[in-house]
Amino acid sequence: MTKTVTVAIIQHAPVYLDLAASVEKAVALTKEAAGKGARVVTFGETWLPGYPAWLDYCRDMGLWNHEPTKAVFARLRQNSVLIPGKETRLFGQLAAENNLILVMGVNERVEAGPGNGTLYNSLLTFTPEGELKGHHRKLVPTYTERIVWGQGDGRGLEAVATPVGRIGGLICWEHWMPLARQALHDSGEAMHVAVWPTVHEMHQVASRHYAFEGRCFVLASGLIMRAKDLPTELQTTAELAANPEAFVLRGGSAVIGPDGKYVVEPVYDREVIITAELDLEVVERERMTLDVSGHYSRPDIFSFKAKGILGDRDS
C-alpha cells in the first residue's frame, strides 16, 4: 500500500436524465482529475443520470396514478445503468487507462430476472485493473425515495482491495445504520466514500463520525443541481419556478481525516473538483486509541456477522 495518495471528489452536475451525455461528461471530468494527480476519483449519489430531487421539490408527484410522474420515472429508467453493460465496461477501461480507482453512484436498472422493473440506488467501484470490484445497492431507500428504488441486499457491503488500501462506501442514510457501518469497519477500510444528495450539517456530522469511528479517511461527496434541471413534466414550487438558477442540491463535499477533522472543508454552491493529498499512515496511527474491529470490539461480549456480503446476484 502506498503511503500517500491524491484523491478527487467530482462536485459537478450531470446532464440530468441524459445517460449518454452524462457519461461523456463523467469521462472528461475523470480525465481532468487524473491530470491533477488523482488516483481515487469519486462522484456523488446516483450521479448517473441524476438524483430524483423531484420527489421532494415538485407538486403532486405523490398522487396515485399520476401520469406526469410515471413519465419522469420512465425517462429515469430508460437512462439508468445496466450492470454489467456498456457504461460499466467504459468506466472500467477509463480506470485502467488512467491508473485510478473510480467510484460512481448510479441509478441501476435490471433488464430481466429478479428485480426487473425496479430501480436500485447503487455505488460502483472500479479498480486500476479495469475491473468492477464493488457493487453495493442501497439497503433501505429513505422516505420518498421508496417510490422509485427497491431495497438492496448485503452482497456489496464490504470494502474493495486496491493499491492504495481497502476502499468502501455507503449511501446517504446508511451512515445511520450501526450494523451497516460495522460491516464496513470489519472489512478494513483505509478510505470510505460517503455519497449524499447534499452534505448538509447533519450529513457532515454523520461523515465525520464515520471517519472517527472507523479510523479511516472519508470522502463525503455531494451533488450539484439547479431548479432548471427539475423535470419539465412536473410542477415545482413558485419560488423555484421564479429562480431557475437556484440550487436544489448544494454539494457540501469534503475530505475528512481518521481523527474526524477536516482535511478539506465543505464546499457549497459551486461546481468544482476537490482534491487532497492524503497520508495513509495516519490511519495506522489513529488505530492506536480506537479500533472498533480490534481491541475495542470486545468479541467476548458482542458478536456480529454480516450476512450475504459474498456471492453473485442472480440478476
Tell me the catalytic residues.
45, 138, 172
Rounded Cα distance, 241 and 141, in Å: 28
Burial letters 107-139, b for 16+ CB under 10 A, else e: bbbbeeeebeeebbbbbbbbbbeeebbbbbbbb
The CA angle 173-139-26, to the nearest 5 degrees, is 75
Contacts of 121-124 spanning 24+ positions with Cβ under 8 A: 121/45, 121/46, 121/145, 121/149, 121/152, 121/171, 122/81, 122/83, 122/152, 123/45, 123/156, 123/169, 123/170, 123/171, 123/193, 123/195, 124/83, 124/88, 124/91
Contact 13, 230 (CB under 8 A): no
State the CB neighbour count (10 A cutoff) for residue 60: 10
* Nearest residue to 199 (alpha-carbon basis) of 246, 253, 145: 253
Phi and psi, residue 202, nearest 5°: -70, -30
Rounded Cα distance, 125 and 132, in Å: 6
For residue 214, give the C-alpha cell. 472507523
For residue 221, give the C-alpha cell. 461527496
